[in-house]
Structure 1
């Protein structure tokens, strides 16, 4: 009987595995169906950084002295002085991936090639069925608790699916198809946000050597910068999560809309780098062919003889038009990756806030209809925006989530809960 099984080994569950390893004697296993840890490998573009500071690593907010910290990774690899002279608070994306892989190698209870294909609630514990991807054999494990950290999957909008992936693909696969993409005479990026900007910037740098037409279309009002003010960032603090979780479901959905600029804007450095290239291009008489068009939604992508035809609509003018491109890259975001077995196993047993979003307690437990009788729990780190706010997908809050889970499982404060850590307050009740 294990104390806990983690489903998925992305940054969130990897953080949980590392924190459990250091300060608990819990018997745990973590499973992932992939061959090895890779963090969005299709978007590990050269010279790109995380949007959060290095302190938002896997462990530091819980234990700055942890051997699994990013600073210890740098020290171990003789890179601490190089990072010091790097003079940036953000860590390079490729290095974050390498850091996480370094942590994984130290945690034998993290098993890859292992897909969870079913979970059964026996009434006292969970039975977790795991298929070995190398042998195709299945094993059943027993665990008191389960943590679902299955992350997100690419969102392909209606009207854009079923096309050849080498020609029309999501940004999550960008690097896998980059070589053939560069050979096209025209490339169009659809969508907004950081991923769209990074792909556009990368293709912009390549354009002098590959004379393609480069287009960026987004239905957003503009190519807008991420809200990065210091007080604005306090909405990613645990104190705000406490406030947000206490709101009604309807109020939480309204609040998410008001925080859109904190969640979906583009990093200032990326925007500046794009503009600098555009400006340098504009000096030349043979400047590359570039189109940047906001206020435009793409409703369908069709494969025709002349290429891929985009059915577009400039929604402010209410004008429809068609646009032809040789390659199309979809920066259309992500949706929670809920395993196929989940609804059959728990759909009728848990409380739902609407038809897609399940009710989650403040300490990340699914709320079961017979919850008062339960001593074994199903925790989730996936599909939390509606319950825990804009920071649900933010690496900076992942450690705080795992502190709550570890303390709840063990029934004691293994890691100190950090509160009253910001200058903002969100309710008059906070000051009473």
Structure 2
């Protein structure tokens, strides 16, 4: 490995690698570059619908939790834009998502370590032998070869599409990640929204703003349209001490916990639910006429098939409430069905050297690095792939600053950032250090 090798090469510039870049900006001793194939920064542009709000405190920004004097905090952004007092006076219960996106873009434009329009095509070990004595990686970035001792992969997840939706034409069915571009041109009179989380609720709200959709079918597998649990004790799940205890558990217990904690991370904001309910109530006050709409809410339903018939789609739906089977005919389907992690194609050469769990997801160490058979000093950090290794906070913005500080400390081999935490208010782990052999539910822990 040559002397000019980077300490870290970051691939993908979303909020999580952006947070890491902002943290490392305060450490001149670390040489880092971050590469992004897009020409400029963009954060979920397809979900920037009118009126959408954050579900996270502004203090949980890119840096504040571990580096409050950083020039890249949300408060510094407000001051730089001369909006500090007006922002306080607005008394937002939740920050507009467009403003937080603007904050992220402001940071991205200010950091010199970021390279846009630079697609990483391939990553390989600098020396190909397994457990090579040499250290580092070679990245093919266009015509350039970049060498780095460590990697940080933050390319995000891809839309998770149900199997029944794969064969539907893209002109008739699309994922909510395209909503901002697709909704204005949507002419369908009957629309089904699949998914009962925050994204599904925002899509329904946007459709209610349109005069095109005469029928809206909102279908969710969840028993009801349920609120995000943002109460104080639940928010303890989004703390470093909980994440550290969670990571030490056997895989079976971790999977059980993440399943039970769905509404702590993927519920609908109470304000959104109240707004939607009031809108549905007001719809009923309107006398039937040419602009009246039929809005059908169908929770506890699982779509089991979709058949296209010319310009229509027939959904076959299993009702979990009474076990009946229903048929829903629409002209378009919007899939608010979440995202899934896939190891990027540029990592193909290293794929066989990476450990995976029972879900075929990469196994992550406590410092968010992949478990692989290469040199221990050459880490491959992966961001937004650890829901089942670090808990439901890992894909959220809540702990972005803390995770970036953990990674920075791992790179330096010292405590650049003080990550000490007080005793938690909730005692999660037993004082006995022995790992339980079975879960509370009687299932064998793996």
How does the TM-score come out when normalised to structure 2?
Answer: 0.90
Q: Partner of 1:391: helix, strand, or coil?
A: coil
Aligned residue runs from structure 1 range 87-126, under 5 A: 87-121=91-125, 122=127, 123=132, 124-126=134-136
Q: Is the 8 A contact 1:156 1:330 kept in 2?
A: yes
Aligned residue runs from structure 1 range 168-187, under 5 A: 168-181=173-186, 183-187=187-191
The structure 2 residue matched to 1:161, chosen from 166, 174, 190, is 166
Aligned to 1:420: 422
Instruction: Tell me: CA distance 1:240–1:83, structure 2 relative to 1, closer, same or farther (3 Å).
Output: same
Shift, 1:355, TM fit? 5.4
Q: Note if 1:127 corresponds to 2:137.
A: yes
In structure 2, what is the Cα distance between the partners aligned to 1:117 and 1:192? Answer: 36
Instruction: Tell me: CA distance 1:102–1:318, structure 2 relative to 1, closer, same or farther (3 Å).
Output: same
Aligned to 2:437: none
In structure 2, what is the Cα distance between the partners aligned to 1:42 and 1:128? Answer: 33
Aligned to 1:59: 63
In structure 1, what is the Cα distance between the partners aligned to 2:175 and 2:213? Answer: 22
Q: Deviations over 1:290-320 (max 9, x none)?
A: 1001111112322212511112221343322
In structure 2, what is the Cα distance between the partners aligned to 1:359 and 1:403? Answer: 20
Aligned to 1:81: 85
Aligned residue runs from structure 1 range 371-410, under 5 A: 374-410=376-412
In structure 2, what is the Cα distance between the partners aligned to 1:202 and 1:85? Answer: 27
Structure 2: state its 5+ residue gaps. 434-446
Instruction: Tell me: CA distance 1:355–1:369, structure 2 relative to 1, closer, same or farther (3 Å).
Output: farther
Aligned to 1:135: none
Instruction: Tell me: CA distance 1:300–1:34, structure 2 relative to 1, closer, same or farther (3 Å).
Output: farther
Q: Deviations over 1:236-289 (max 9, x none)?
A: 111100110010011111111121121221110000000111111222222521
Q: Partner of 1:23: helix, strand, or coil?
A: coil
Q: Deviations over 1:134-188 (max 9, x none)?
A: xxxx21111111111111111111010243323210000011111222x221111
Aligned to 1:223: 225
In structure 1, what is the Cα distance between the partners aligned to 2:310 and 2:381? Answer: 50
In structure 2, what is the Cα distance between the partners aligned to 1:325 and 1:6? Answer: 43
Aligned to 2:343: 338
Aligned to 1:189: 193
In structure 1, what is the Cα distance between the partners aligned to 2:219 and 2:420? Answer: 42
Shift, 1:321, TM fit? 2.8
In structure 2, what is the Cα distance between the partners aligned to 1:27 and 1:112? Answer: 18
Shift, 1:126, TM fit? 3.0
Q: Partner of 2:119: helix, strand, or coil?
A: strand
Aligned to 1:23: 27
Aligned to 2:444: none
Shift, 1:89, TM fit? 4.9
In structure 2, what is the Cα distance between the partners aligned to 1:125 and 1:316? Answer: 57
In structure 2, what is the Cα distance between the partners aligned to 1:401 and 1:298? Answer: 37
In structure 1, what is the Cα distance between the partners aligned to 2:372 and 2:20? Answer: 23
Shift, 1:43, TM fit? 0.3
Q: Partner of 2:212: helix, strand, or coil?
A: coil
In structure 1, what is the Cα distance between the partners aligned to 2:212 and 2:383? Answer: 42
In structure 2, what is the Cα distance between the partners aligned to 1:225 and 1:382? Answer: 23
In structure 2, what is the Cα distance between the partners aligned to 1:304 and 1:129? Answer: 47
Shift, 1:421, TM fit? 6.2
Q: Is the 8 A contact 1:24 1:414 kept in 2?
A: no
Q: Is the 8 A contact 1:125 1:142 kept in 2?
A: no
Instruction: Tell me: CA distance 1:108–1:162, structure 2 relative to 1, closer, same or farther (3 Å).
Output: farther
Aligned to 1:298: 303
Comparing 307-316 and 235-244, the one that deviates more: 307-316
Q: Partner of 2:67: helix, strand, or coil?
A: coil
Aligned residues: 420
Instruction: Tell me: CA distance 1:190–1:9, structure 2 relative to 1, closer, same or farther (3 Å).
Output: same
Shift, 1:348, TM fit? 2.7
Q: Is the 8 A contact 1:119 1:126 kept in 2?
A: no
Q: Is the 8 A contact 1:144 1:376 kept in 2?
A: yes
Q: Is the 8 A contact 1:337 1:382 kept in 2?
A: no
Q: Is the 8 A contact 1:53 1:89 kept in 2?
A: no
Quote the RMSD (CA, aligned, Å).
1.8
Q: Is the 8 A contact 2:137 2:150 kept in 1?
A: no
The structure 2 residue matched to 1:272, chosen from 243, 261, 274, is 274
